[in-house]
Structure 1
Amino acid sequence: MDTGSLEGTGAPADQPVWRRPRPGLLRMRRLLLMVWTGVLTVAAGLLLGLLAGPAWTLCALLPPVCAVWGRRLLERNWRSWRYAERADDLLISRGVLWREETVVPYGRMQLVEVTSGPVERRFGLATVQLHTAAAATDATLPGLDPAEAERLRDRLTELGEARSAGL
């Protein structure tokens, strides 16, 4: 299933159509978790072995155990991210334990950025960052296809200009 595809296609017209980040975001975050787990495991094993004695090197197994749990949490977090474009605003929903829904009115947007770091580019991902007048309402959409991120940036910029012109 392409997670960038539309959900709720049989929903009534007044219901938002939700879109999700690409699966590459989950793969990227899992890879980063494994890399940092490896670094922490080696560092903990060496430091504990040299400073506290060989018996303490077993404590270096703690990072891999935590990483197994972290892989599951990463998936739940990835599944919680979604966004929907409505007529007057953009909805962004995220969070597992504490759900957070952000509504960004198009007329309040001041800047829409598309960024893609080296790791994101390797996984074919981009992030859309929305800036508004109030810093508390800035929003981020990670894990988008670069073409979708550019389309969204252009659309949000166009809608933002049209809505702010009426203020």
Structure 2
Amino acid sequence: MSSSQLDPFAPTGVQFRPVSLELIKVRLAAVAFFLLCSAAVAIILFFLLPQKWIGLLVIATVVAIALWLLWLIPRQVRAMGWAVTGTDLQIRKGIMFKSLTVVPLGRLQYVDVEEGPIARHFAIAQVKLHTASATTDAQLPGIPREQAAQLREQIADLAESNLEGI
């Protein structure tokens, strides 16, 4: 038996497609606001407090978090992938803490496609799958807008052909 057959995160015969790398920009933009606000507070603390080391410590913490996120977010996005088989949608993510979510298409009740203003600027959307059980709902972020619409239709057609959902 080969190692790929033993890997639960790489099922045999399933080709995972990556999410759009534009998701990196969207996620970095989302945390940028928080980091800029934190940096502003840190700078204000530096000038207002008589103990300058407290302000410097807060500034250093904000810089460390920013650098860590600049390293982490691209790695997280590159580790994400998805695949549609005839009976399910599989979503894989994670590097250190891996996860493979398998959503049976026959259990789907509806599929949403969503995009916020930042995602819209980068022409990506998020596909949300809602099943009969809330514990098997899934989200697939970072799908190019046109591909998200096609995926929604493909999933709806497959779910209908399985005669259990939608």
SS of 1:83's equivalent? strand
Aligned twin of 2:8: none
TM-superposed deviation, 1:61 = 2.6
Structure 2 residues without counterparts, runs of 5 or longer? 1-11
**10, 28, 32: which one aligns with 1:30:** 28
Aligned twin of 2:6: none
- 1:95-110 to structure 2, matched below 5 A, reads 95-110=94-109
Q: Which amino acid aligns with 1:150?
A: A
SS of 1:164's equivalent? coil
SS of 2:162's equivalent? helix
TM-superposed deviation, 1:35 = 3.2
**Shift >6 Å, 4+ stretches:** none
* Whole-Å separation in 1 of the counterparts to 2:163 and 2:115: 28
TM-score (norm 1): 0.84
CA deviation vs aligned residue, 1:89-116 (integer Å, no higher than 9, x gap): 1111111222111111111011100001
Q: 1:128 to 1:52 in 2, by over 3 A?
A: farther
Aligned twin of 1:122: 121
Root-mean-square deviation over aligned CA pairs: 1.8
TM-superposed deviation, 1:32 = 2.7
TM-superposed deviation, 1:30 = 1.9
* Whole-Å separation in 2 of the counterparts to 1:117 and 1:70: 21
CA deviation vs aligned residue, 1:16-73 (integer Å, no higher than 9, x gap): 1211111110122123333321211111221354255434221223111211111111
- After TM superposition, the structure 1 stretch with the greater mean CA deviation from structure 2, 55-64 or 94-103, is 55-64
